[in-house]
Amino acid sequence: MTKYRFLSIIKLVINMLVNSNEMLLKAKQSGYAIAHFNINNLEWTRYILEASEGLKTPVILGVSEGAIKYIGGYLTVYHIVSSLMKDLNISIDVCLHLDHGSSVESCKKAIDNGFTSVMIDASQYPFLENVKITKEVVEYAHTRGVSVEAELGHFGGSEDGMEYNTFHARVEEVIPFYEMTKVDSLAPALGSVHGLYQKEPNLDFDTMKKIKELLPIPLVLHGGTGIPKEQIEKAIDCGINKININTELQITWAKEVRKYLDENQEVYDPRKIIGSGKDAIIKKVQALILEFMKKNSTKEDIDNKI
Ligand code: 13P
């Protein structure tokens, strides 16, 4: 029995979510990126799990505070993910991650309710305040086996219905930030935005590369929707090992559902309406995972690697 199969059986029995450390470290060593998909409800969680299981690739399920509120609460999210993993016999590594945790309290609540990774986003505060808040989260998380992502600079665009301005991470802040916080991964804002781009994305690859050379930890790219393939490849070469996607799945799903409703005006069963976006989401998730895991990888490449 292979090591992977053995671990799969153990995980299946105890239904274990994992933190993001091992999968991101492996991605860093091998030069690819793990996909982070935001979940918005039970159905999306299921589709993303099935899509990732189909490829036998690890996945990060990100949940924003807005989505947590919409779904019902931190514990409800945890139970949806962990129960689906059991019912669907999910054997891959799955990390449940709080996306843009806005406070120490929110991160602690996620951790106490079974999340295996948190992002503390204190990027709107001055540098030393960001350090202080991030450090407090790291100390709480690390004693509980939970990984922590933090943000330097600030991602602009639209998220959870709010608009934000962009400012870039500064290279000289990166090492002091890492040494003072001991964070596990860093999201440096370098031109990507949440939501739709108004014009062609303009990422600061030079700074990204410099940060990669300075830092021993994986880097995270937020605002993955709408970044052309060549720029994604370049970002991975410049040290990005986790790519966050939300809007792209929303657009993919909404387009299919709109079409289905147009063509089936008499349908009122929510399972048919919501489910009409299933195949499109699964296809999109699998295409993005393959794109992020290795340039031009095929499903067979990925299967063989694992
Ligand atoms: P997009 O909505 O632009 O894909 O960004 C998602 C994201 O970065 C979540 O943190």
Would you tell me how many other CB atoms lie within 10 Å of the CB of residue 171? 16
Dihedral of the alpha carbons of 239, 46, 120, 30, in degrees to the nearest 10? -20
pLDDT at 304: 47
| Token pair of 169 as six digits | 């991470």
Average model confidence (pLDDT) across the chain: 92
| Token pair of 79 as six digits | 């139970």
235 CA distance to ligand 1 middle (Å):
15
Span 26-52, mean pLDDT?
Answer: 97
The minimum-distance atom of ligand 1 relative to the CA of 159 is 2
Instruction: For ligand 1, say whether the CB of 204 is within 6 Å of any of its atoms.
Output: no
Instruction: For ligand 1, say whether the CB of 38 is within 6 Å of any of its atoms.
Output: yes
DSSP state of 116: S
Instruction: For ligand 1, say whether the CB of 247 is within 6 Å of any of its atoms.
Output: yes
Measured between alpha carbons, how far is 12 from 209 in angstroms, rounded to an integer?
39
| Token pair of 144 as six digits | 């509980």
DSSP state of 125: S
Specify whether the CB–CB gap between 240 and 268 falls below 8 A: no
Instruction: For ligand 1, say whether the CB of 286 is within 6 Å of any of its atoms.
Output: no
Q: pLDDT tens digits for 131-172?
A: 999 999 999 999 999 999 999 998 877 666 666 677 898 999
| Token pair of 152 as six digits | 């330097």
Q: pLDDT tens digits for 276-295?
A: 999 999 999 999 999 999 74
The minimum-distance atom of ligand 1 relative to the CA of 248 is 4
Strand-strand pairing, 156-159 and 162-164: antiparallel
Q: 195 — alpha (psi -120 to 50), left (phi > 0) or beta?
A: left
pLDDT at 305: 44
Measured between alpha carbons, how far is 113 from 118 in angstroms, rounded to an integer?
12
| Token pair of 111 as six digits | 């951790």
62 CA distance to ligand 1 middle (Å):
10
Characterize 9-42 residue by residue with b for buried, 16 or more Cβ atoms within 10 angstroms of its Cβ, and e for exposed. Answer: eebeeeeebbbbbebbbebbeeebbbbbbbbbeb
**Ligand 1 probe mutation, 247, 284, 291, 292, most atoms within 8 A of CB:** 247
Residues with catalytic function? 99
- Listed residue (95, 100, 20) closest to 52, CA to CA: 95
The minimum-distance atom of ligand 1 relative to the CA of 99 is 10
Q: Atom 1 (ligand 1): residue with closest C-alpha?
A: 223
pLDDT at 119: 98
pLDDT at 165: 73
pLDDT at 179: 98
Instruction: For ligand 1, say whether the CB of 97 is within 6 Å of any of its atoms.
Output: no
Instruction: For ligand 1, say whether the CB of 40 is within 6 Å of any of its atoms.
Output: no
Q: pLDDT tens digits for 186-222?
A: 999 998 889 998 888 889 999 999 999 999 999 999 9
Span 173-179, mean pLDDT?
Answer: 97
Q: pLDDT tens digits for 41-70?
A: 999 999 999 999 999 999 999 999 999 999
Domains, the chain, ordered by start: 15-246 (3.20.20.70)
pTM over 0.85: yes
Measured between alpha carbons, how far is 257 from 223 in angstroms, rounded to an integer?
23
pLDDT at 6: 57
13 CA distance to ligand 1 middle (Å):
33
Q: Atom 9 (ligand 1): residue with closest C-alpha?
A: 244
Specify whether the CB–CB gap between 256 and 276 falls below 8 A: yes
Instruction: For ligand 1, say whether the CB of 151 is within 6 Å of any of its atoms.
Output: no
Instruction: For ligand 1, say whether the CB of 245 is within 6 Å of any of its atoms.
Output: yes
The minimum-distance atom of ligand 1 relative to the CA of 194 is 3
- Choice among 5-9, 139-143, 227-231, 273-277 with the minimum mean pLDDT: 5-9
Could you tell me which residue, 159 or 261, shows the higher pLDDT?
261
